Amino acid sequence: MYIVRTRAREPRRPRAHYIVHMPPARFPPVYLDANATEPLRPDARVAIAEALDVTGNPSSVHGAGRAARRIMEDAREALAARFGVRPADLVFTSGGTEADALAIHALGGGRRVIIGATEHEAVRAAAPGATILPVDRNGTADLDVLASLLGERPPALVCLMLANNETGVIQPVADAARICDRYGSWLHVDAVQAAGRIATDLKMLGAASMAISSHKLGGPAGAGALMLASEVSSIAPLIAGGGQERGRRGGTQPVAVIAGFAAAAETSGDAGTLAPLRDRAERAAVACGAVVCGGEVPRLANTTSLALPGVRAETQVIALDLAGVAVSAGAACSSGKVARSHVLHAMGLGPLAGEAIRVSLPWNATAADVDAFAAAYSRMALRLARETPDADRRTLVD
Ligand code: PLP
């Protein structure tokens, strides 16, 4: 939400008016970090504003509570239809991290847990003792290894993301689900980056569960969902409490946030139209010596991972930020420090794992954004090349 100051002589208007009609904030001028958070979609803004005017706890039995509940259940129905589950099999959470943690807590108990080497921290942290499934140089999980791991000791819970947050690489999730099925195992899919960008349907993927997040598809931060196959739908909660979400997640649901989540999901769709802009950004960076990580396999059309050999990711992010372009380094800790990317490391990219930035185009990206990025990137690369002694420069990875 924006903090709105009313100018002295301006008549006061209802707050919702400002929320709906204020032009979208564009700061920094060029925002290319959609995989961190997407800009709010206009339909989501309207849905939030309308729902904020409804006072009521969705668990209350009186009319006000029922009105709030109606908004929440409409959102549940829309999201369930969009992502291939029954409404009763969708559990609202606070976001993608909690949805992943809930799935692993509920479905991993008593089972061996196997996770892809490039999974997000949300999965890694929730499965500390997990067996790691290796990926190839393009970041694609090795399904032969998966089959032999499952053959050794079923049943397991396997966690494989649909699209990677750093490279955009799309995993062969439906194939993995078939292998899991053969060995009586379950597949949890982290679809946080895929949802709203490529076809994402639990039934079609054949997974047991799937996590999505509102702010990654143009809704507000603060809501996510765990979708469950009907056979595993009655799970134990990670957070107990008031019995909300059919006893699977305690805590009063944020109705307005959920309304915005569903509205954003309905307007989000195919990010494929962003591919020409992504390719244009890539060509500009490659012309300056950048290497595209994971560029030879199917990827999200909005995402590219660009390594500049010999230049630390953090240095690049800061230089671009000073030029008014927001991108991110592969893996930023909550402290704001940049760590070497475990994703690129797992892909065997050696030192490039500390030298790659992620450019992720938002749904409203324009050609002008990409041109501004290209200009800032080439100025940065030229300056850093001048400042980096020849001895420190590398052009190829080992
Ligand atoms: N999974 C993936 C692949 C992500 O990229 C993220 C966030 O970056 C998460 C999970 C966590 O989602 P949230 O920020 O909604 O907790």
Could you write out the DSSP letters of every residue in 213-235?
A: EGGGTTS-TT-EEEEE-GGG-SP
Kindly report the protein residue whose alpha carbon is nearest to atom 5 of ligand 1.
Answer: 165
Q: Ligand 1, from 97, 188, 333, 341: best to mutate by most atoms within 8 Å of Cβ?
A: 97
Picking from 129, 198, 188, the residue whose alpha carbon sits closest to that of residue 160 is: 188
Atom of ligand 1 nearest to the CA of 36: 8
Q: pLDDT tens digit string along 217-240?
A: 999 999 999 999 999 999 999 999
CA–centroid distance, residue 229 to ligand 1 (Å): 21
Whole-number Å distance between alpha carbons of 143 and 148: 9
* Residue from 119, 120, 188 whose mutation best tests the ligand 1 pocket (most atoms within 8 A of CB): 120
HEC per residue, 113-181 = EEEECCCCHHHHHHCCCCEEECECCCCCECHHHHHHHHHHCCCEEEECCCECCCCCEECCHHHHHHHHH
Q: For residue 277, give Cα distances in angstroms to 74, 199, 271, 282.
A: 35, 20, 11, 9
- Which residues fall within 8 angstroms of residue 27, CB to CB, at 6 or more apart? none
The alpha carbon of 108 and the centre of ligand 1 are apart by a number of angstroms equal to 19
Q: Quote the CA–CA distance of 341 and 136 in Å, as a whole number.
A: 15
Where does ligand 1 bind, in terms of residues with CB under 6 Å?
95-97, 100, 120, 122, 161, 165, 190, 192-193, 213, 224
Cα(113) to centroid(ligand 1), Å: 19
User: Within 10 Å of residue 14's Cβ, how many Cβ atoms?
Assistant: 10
Q: Ligand 1: which of 104, 193, 198, 209 to mutate, judged by most atoms within 8 Å of the beta carbon?
A: 193
The number of the ligand 1 atom at minimal distance from the alpha carbon of 214 is: 15
Question: Ligand 1: which atom is nearest the Cα of residue 164?
Answer: 3
Instruction: Please identify which residue in the block is written with the tokens 């996590």.
Output: 211
Give the C-alpha separation, 259 to 263, whole Å: 6
Q: How many CB atoms lie within 10 A of CB 303?
A: 25
CA of 333 to the centre of ligand 1 (A): 13
In ligand 1, which atom is closest to the CA atom of 119? 3
Cβ atoms of 116 and 141 within 8 Å: the answer is yes
Q: Given this model, what pLDDT does residue 29 score?
A: 86
Mapping DSSP to helix (H, G, I), strand (E, B) and coil, where does residue 359 land?
strand
Ligand 1 centroid to 97 CA: how many Å? 6
pTM, two decimal places: 0.91
Q: What gap in Å lies between CA 123 and CA 188, rounded to an integer?
A: 10
Mutational test site, ligand 1, from 94, 171, 192, max ligand atoms within 8 Å of CB:
192
Which atom of ligand 1 approaches the CA of 97 most closely?
16
In terms of Cα–Cα distance, which of 233, 216, 243, 213 is closest to 94? Answer: 213
The reported pLDDT for the residue numbered 185 is: 97
pLDDT number for residue 386: 78
Give the max Cα distance, the chain: 74
Residue ID of nearest Cα to ligand 1 atom 10:
96
User: Is 159 labeled as catalytic in the residue annotation?
Assistant: no
Of 159, 180, 293, 333, the active-site residue reads 333
Tally the C-alpha atoms within 13 A of residue 92's C-alpha that lie toward its C-beta. Answer: 30
Whether the CB-CB separation of 305 and 167 falls below 8 Å is answered with yes
Q: Angle formed by the axes of helices 313-322 and 367-387, to 10°?
A: 120
How confident is the model at residue 64, as a pLDDT? 97
Q: What pLDDT sits at residue 1?
A: 36
**Which residue ranges of the chain lie beneath pLDDT 50?**
1-18, 391, 394-398
C-alpha of residue 322 to centroid of ligand 1, in Å: 26
Q: Torsion angle of alpha carbons 21, 302, 376, 391, nearest 10°?
A: 150
Q: Which residues pair with 209 in a beta bridge?
A: 188, 228
Q: Which residues on adjacent β-strands are paired with residue 326? A: 31
The radius of gyration computed from the CA coordinates of the chain, to the nearest angstrom, equals 22
Cα 148 to averaged position of ligand 1 atoms, centre (Å): 29
